[in-house]
Amino acid sequence: MSNQFKETQEQRDKLNAVLEEQKNVPGSLMKVMQQAQEIYGYLPLEVQARIADFLNIPMEEIYGIATFYAQFHTEPSGKYKVGICLGTACYVKGSGDILEKLKTLLKVDAGKTTPDLKYTLDATRCIGCCGLAPVMTVNEEVYGKITVDDVERIIAKYND
């Protein structure tokens, strides 16, 4: 795991309550997974292992479901979701270079989260504002017509 798993007692108690409640309910796995994700925000190995042991289901079966459905995440998201559009317009305007710059700056691959859970870097498809190409987003903020040199300045704003 790239990120160290941490949990609060409250999260632990909540998951235990869900497991107890669904213990003898046939076909309850999806429900348990959804509720566990609500509690933790994602489904890390430690949580999947606990579900597996409690419901007596191999962890691989749970992981298979978690990777089949887009609604489940096996890694936590960062506080800031940094998106760089790789749609056609942005791409021809050089968003590929911007992605590379973001990777070196944040020291993380596309689709991954930094160990301090601050940034998640996403290479997105077209986000529908090609007039501003190339486009980068940080959570709800949109930055258009940017260059490789702008990247450091934009990220610095979110350095809290």
Partner 1 sequence: MKEVTLKINGVSVTVPAGTKILDAAKKAGFNIPTLCYLKDICNDGSCRICVVEVKGQKKLITACSATVKDEMEVFTSTPKVIAARKTTLELMLSNHNKNCLSCARSTNCELQKLSLEYGCDTKAFQGAVTKSRVDENDYLVRDNSKCILCRRCVAVCNKIQTVGVIGANNRGFASEIGCAFEKKLDNTSCIACGQCINVCPTGALHEKDDTAKVIAAIEDPEKYVIFGTAPSVRVALAEEFGYPIGTDAEGKMVSAIKRVGADKVFDVNMAADMTIMEEGTELLARLKDKTAALPMITSCSPGWIRFIEFYYPELLPHLSSCKSPQQMFGAIMKTYYAEKFNIDPKKIYVVSVMPCVAKKTEILRDDEAAAGVPDVDVVLTTRELARLIKAKSIDFAALPNEEFDNPIGQGTTAGLIFGATGGVMEAALRTVADVLTGENLEKIDYKAVRGTAGIKEAKVKIAGNEIKVCVAHTMANARKILEDIKAGKCDYHFIEIMTCPGGCVNGGGQPIVPSYISNNVDVKALRAKAIYDKDKKSGLRKSHENPVVKALYEEYFDHPNSHKAHHILHTTYHKREKY
Q: Specify the residue, 75 or 150, whose C-beta has the smaller distance to partner 1.
A: 75
Name, in order, each residue with C-beta under 8 angstroms of 97's C-beta and a sequence gap of 6 or more: 148
Supply the minimum distance, in Å, between the C-beta of residue 70 and partner 1.
8
Tokens of 145: 């017509």
Supply the minimum distance, in Å, between the C-beta of residue 48 and partner 1.
7
Q: Specify the residue, 53 or 141, whose C-beta has the smaller distance to partner 1.
A: 53
Supply the minimum distance, in Å, between the C-beta of residue 10 and partner 1.
23
Q: Specify the residue, 21 or 46, whose C-beta has the smaller distance to partner 1.
A: 46
Supply the minimum distance, in Å, between the C-beta of residue 140 and partner 1.
29
Three-state DSSP string of the chain: CCCCCCCCHHHHHHHHHHHHHHCCCCCCHHHHHHHHHHHHCCCCHHHHHHHHHHHCCCHHHHHHHHHHCCCCCCCCCCCEEEEEECCHHHHHCCHHHHHHHHHHHHCCCCCCECCCCCEEEEEECCCCCHHHCCCEEECCEEECCCCHHHHHHHHHCCCC
Q: Specify the residue, 65 or 142, whose C-beta has the smaller distance to partner 1.
A: 65
Question: Can you tell me the distance from the alpha carbon of 34 to that of 123, in angstroms, rounded to the nearest whole number?
Answer: 26
Q: Specify the residue, 43 or 136, whose C-beta has the smaller distance to partner 1.
A: 43
Supply the minimum distance, in Å, between the C-beta of residue 74 and partner 1.
7
Site of interaction with partner 1 (CB under 8 A): 1, 45, 48-49, 57-64, 67-69, 74
